[in-house]
Amino acid sequence: MIQAKGYAAQTPETDLAPWSFERREVGPHDIQIEIQYCGVCHSDLHQIKNDWFPGVFPMVPGHEIVGKIVKVGDHVKNFKVGDLAGIGCMVDSCQVCENCQEGLEQYCLEGNTQTYNNLDRSGVPTYGGYSNTIVAREEFVLHISDKLSLAATAPLLCAGITTYSPLRHWKVGKGHKLAVVGLGGLGHMAVKFGVAFGAEVTVLSTSASKEAAAKELGAHHFVVTTDKEQVKAVRNKFDFILDTVSAVHDIDMYQSMLRVNGVQIGVGVPPAKLEVAPFSLIGGRRSLAGSGIGGIQETQEMLDFCAEHNIVSDIELIDIKDITAAYERMLKGDVRYRFVIDIATLK
């Protein structure tokens, strides 16, 4: 077994703290990565606190992982020692069901294996990227370009692909009016991708103070959703709304902003059920949809697109010992726009 160290929550009631554990040995189809940076996702906090479902403890969070390959299995074909590589939200799937065969491993009919807070197919707990090393199957490892800042690339493995995938699925681009709800870790990536794809992008936010930041990211317009007159002015305007908000909010208000046949796509995960009036949908043949992360092929496509167009996340690099304080700031929205842990600080 490979000796590893990281930060773990021992129970839902305890903060993250140093913890030593073991990774499996590198098998014929495996790759071992020396982790250099790991992004901090809002879902990390939800999962260590059991907000969504009972967790697997001790829990090492982190699914925005980048680093350097230090060992490859005998049968690995597409990677070599020294390559930069990344791992996102999943590390395995059945690979044979119809969804996996279509490159939709995130929707594996048997359930994909999550990078952490999950059991692998042999029943062993998975541990994430708040650690110094990780071992995964070649099929779930991604090539990382050396053209981009490695630390700022880490959040692309979740925040990036979570926004890229629905925009590509619905073919959002030139001639479309796209609204992005929320300007956080997900929202700021949605703005960057929407602009890069040629859409006219509007940010919808409850915070008027975020307008300048939205414009700096490339947004063409900004609407304060607590201002009734501004909301009225954008009724029936948008072809698509990408909703990144993880708090309970008024779906009907956003539906009123869609044109006929418009689509509101949810990628945030509020803690309670969302309510929608049927006439909000029927009145304009509007749709309310959802999207998760992308498959491995699509995630690689996204990383390649980012390398070509110089797109990364806006980050704040932190020492791993400051993770609890970072969570507290994240809950207050006090980060532009993603914390990334420098794993070199893991002593």
What is the pLDDT, as a whole number, of residue 180?
A: 98
What is the pLDDT, as a whole number, of residue 271?
A: 83
Determine contact, residues 109/97, Cβ cutoff 8 Å.
Answer: yes
Residue 139's identity, in one-letter code, is: E
Phi, psi of 237 (to 5 degrees): -105, -40
What is the pLDDT, as a whole number, of residue 347?
A: 83
What is the pLDDT, as a whole number, of residue 245?
A: 94
Q: How many CB atoms lie within 10 A of CB 259?
A: 16
What is the pLDDT, as a whole number, of residue 293?
A: 97
What is the pLDDT, as a whole number, of residue 63?
A: 98
Work out the angle between the directed axes of helices 159-169 and 185-196 (0-180°, nearest 10).
40
Kindly give the confidence (pLDDT) of every residue in the chain, 347 residues in length, as a single tens digit, with 9 standing for 90 and above.
Answer: 999 999 999 999 999 999 999 999 999 999 999 999 999 999 999 999 999 999 999 999 999 999 999 999 999 999 999 999 999 999 999 999 999 999 999 999 999 999 999 999 999 999 999 999 999 999 999 999 999 999 999 999 999 999 999 999 999 999 999 999 999 999 999 999 999 999 999 999 999 999 999 999 999 999 999 999 999 999 999 999 999 998 899 999 999 999 999 999 999 988 889 999 999 999 999 999 999 999 999 999 999 999 999 999 999 999 999 999 999 999 999 999 999 999 999 98
C-alpha 31/C-alpha 167 separation (Å) is 31
C-alpha 210/C-alpha 222 separation (Å) is 9
What is the pLDDT, as a whole number, of residue 102?
A: 97
Determine contact, residues 191/183, Cβ cutoff 8 Å.
Answer: yes
pTM (predicted TM-score): 0.96
| Residues ≥6 apart with Cβ < 8 Å to 70 | 32, 33, 34, 81, 133
C-alpha 216/C-alpha 164 separation (Å) is 20
97: DSSP letter = S
- Domains in the chain, please, with CATH? 2-158+295-305+312-345 (3.90.180.10), 162-290 (3.40.50.720)
Helix (H) or strand (E) holding 91: strand 90-92
